[in-house]
Amino acid sequence: MTEELKEIGHRRVGRLMRQNGISVIRTRKHKATTDSNHKFNIAPNLLDRDFNADAPNQKWAGDITYIWTREGWLYLAVILDLHSRRVVGWAVSNRMKRDLAIRALKMAIAFRAPPRGCIHHTDRGSQYCSHDYQKILRQHGFSVSMSGKGNCYDNAAVETFFKTIKAELIWRDTWETRRKAEMAIFEYINGFYNPRRRHSALGWKSPVAFERKVA
């Protein structure tokens, strides 16, 4: 908030927030969604918690989270480019199956056409280890990387995005239908997060502005 209103100062921002009933939404406890009880092959952790990249399409990271609606759970899969933290692919579904992860991956590939050797990092969930998902990664020449067992810190960049979207969007409303939640997510990612939301790690630029500066 202070960065958006930098010329005002943090004390006045705090006072204005109190006067207008604006409060900070705190993040909630993490809930695991990874099903690593499978017999698929596990890739080594090539990323090794190095979430920095000198240019776009060097390192991608993906994960799945959950959103409660009055129709039931809605699952969100995303792919981030770690250079700018930009969401380059995403998909939603009422089931947490491999098709959900595949659709997010295909969107990212169609949007960015990454070069061979781009690191693709996820947890070791069955969706990402499945033969169908791994086949797509091989076809496009990704270097496959996976987190250690049960270690969310190995994919901290995506976990941070999920905490952000939940604090700034999901937890602020009650979602009557999955469709309404999906449309809100679309507006958040494409209308706010990618083009406008500032990040301290990017020198208080948005993902789109940061990529434009580097280019």
**What integer pLDDT is reported at residue 55 of this predicted model?**
96
Which whole number is the average pLDDT over 202-211? 96
User: Rounded to 10 degrees, what is the CA torsion of 22, 189, 186, 49?
Assistant: -110
Q: Please state the pTM of the whole predicted model.
A: 0.84
Query: 31-214: which CATH topology?
Result: Nucleotidyltransferase; domain 5 (3.30.420)
Q: How confident is the model over 39-55, as pLDDT tens digits?
A: 788 999 999 999 999 99
- Above 90 in pLDDT, residue 3? no
Q: How confident is the model over 123-134, as pLDDT tens digits?
A: 999 999 999 999
Domain ranges of the chain: 1-30, 31-214
Strand order in the sheet with 72-81: 86-93, 72-81, 59-69, 119-122, 143-146
Q: How confident is the model over 149-198, as pLDDT tens digits?
A: 878 899 999 999 999 999 999 999 999 999 999 999 999 999 999 999 99
Closest alpha carbon to 61 in 40, 41, 45, 42 = 45
**What integer pLDDT is reported at residue 20 of this predicted model?**
63
Are 189 and 90 in contact, with CB atoms under 8 Å apart? yes
Q: How confident is the model over 4-16, as pLDDT tens digits?
A: 555 555 556 556 5
